Chains A and B, each alone.
Chain A
């Protein structure tokens, strides 16, 4: 990460680094508590499935613990983590939720970095803020567009009360900006909601 730090003017480094470390990673706690409660009920009903589910949850948390302290992680790592999260979600939401990763994301990405838990938090946000029903499934797509990674979903918003609203997105904006001057953009045409953010390319710096 040395090279990234050099992006900033010397005088700003200390300040901005301290800002970055104030930005702890934000996960959707309510969602995770729901998943754990579901697991609790699953144990007696389908032990085999519950064990599989628990194994993915453990792996998910391991990623979270290992990467939470890092500023940036390889894009491949973040995608692996996000796919794991998507498969977790599938355990409890079957027909009403589709998450797809574009095939272009299967490649190797030498030199490309993103903040940890960035793509995952955008997927998690989409799930939190939109309806998921068998007759109105939520369709989330992750894909590349130029030097950006995008997460889009069909827009069917639900009310969100009492919970951190927009904090996750603001956090991502702060991290991208402070770490490498990256941009986060949101687009909403009423049918589709899309968030995209700049990937850091260490080979081009």
Chain B
């Protein structure tokens, strides 16, 4: 995560950066600026800023000015000693508004909001990519999935396991890569090879080539145990689907 800190008070700068390093050791502080002009210059000359913490009253005016002058994809958290600006701040689509003095817990909370917001934007990106793919290919040979900040391209045969959760499909590949796409399970299944991908239950689909063993528990429920390299729990096979799986496996042979 690349962070810009806009703050005109020396002591607040130092404390704030110490908190950032403590809470997010992986984060990189790409700059600390203390005025509108220096912030605009830095944002224009720095690529991929993920998150900006910005004090509102700066030495040469209000930081709102900065965001009127630059285009940035960074998410913004405003920081201020004076609460009278909250409404104005939300005009700039900030994800959080911190009141000074900034306590470590408040900052921690802001980072959590950042994580959530990032997940949301990932999902939006995923939707767009999915729409694009659907336009281009009726059948699915390749699929772009969202993994953290990246999109990764996978082939159909790479997919080991799919799980549908609230509008999104989590995709796990044979080599451990994983990510999400937005789709209904049915919508995706229609495009996958029906001889390879088996819907085990209401929410899970497996690649039958990744099944290591099928076993029953004492209640006679069937489970598919997947290749150990995938590190996933055995997957319950719905009673009325056991026959279908057996037929698929027989055909493959």
Contacts and interface: CB of A to CB of B under 8 A. Distances in A.
Interface residues of B, number: 21
A40 interface: yes
A39 to B, nearest CB: 8
B9 A34 contact: yes
Nearest to B81: A33
Contacts, number: 67
Contacts of B57: 30, 34
A29 B82 contact: yes
B11 A38 contact: yes
B92 interface: no
Given A30-B81, A37-B101, A161 B62 contact: yes
A13 interface: no
A98 to B, nearest CB: 14
Contact of A41 (B15, B62, B85): B15
A41 B11 contact: yes
B194 interface: no
A31 to B, nearest CB: 9
Interface in B1-49: 9-12, 14-16, 35
Contact of A42 (B11, B61, B62): B11
Contacts of A96: 59
A88 to B, nearest CB: 14
Interface in B87-110: 88, 100-101
B101 A163 contact: no
Interface string A84-112: 00000000110010000000000000000
A33 B56 CA distance: 13
Given A34-B100, A37-B9, A41-B11, A162 B84 contact: yes
Contacts of A131: 59-61
Given A33-B100, A132-B59, A132-B60, A92 B84 contact: no
B65 interface: yes
A45 interface: yes
A158 B14 contact: no
B60 A163 contact: no
Interface string A135-163: 01000000000000000000000110111
Nearest to B9: A38
A187 interface: no
B81 A159 contact: no
A36 B60 CA distance: 20
B88 A161 contact: yes
Contacts of A162: 84-85, 88
Contacts of B15: 41, 44-45
A133 interface: yes
Nearest to B61: A158
Contacts of A45: 11, 14-15
26 contacts: A30-B84, A33-B81, A33-B82, A34-B82, A37-B81, A37-B101, A38-B9, A38-B11, A38-B12, A39-B11, A40-B101, A41-B15, A42-B11, A45-B14, A46-B11, A96-B59, A131-B60, A132-B59, A132-B60, A133-B60, A136-B60, A158-B62, A159-B65, A161-B88, A162-B85, A163-B82
Interface of A: 29-30, 33-34, 36-42, 44-46, 92-93, 96, 131-133, 136, 158-159, 161-163
Given A37-B81, A158-B62, 13 more contacts: A29-B82, A36-B81, A37-B9, A37-B100, A40-B100, A41-B16, A131-B59, A131-B60, A136-B60, A158-B61, A159-B62, A161-B62, A161-B85
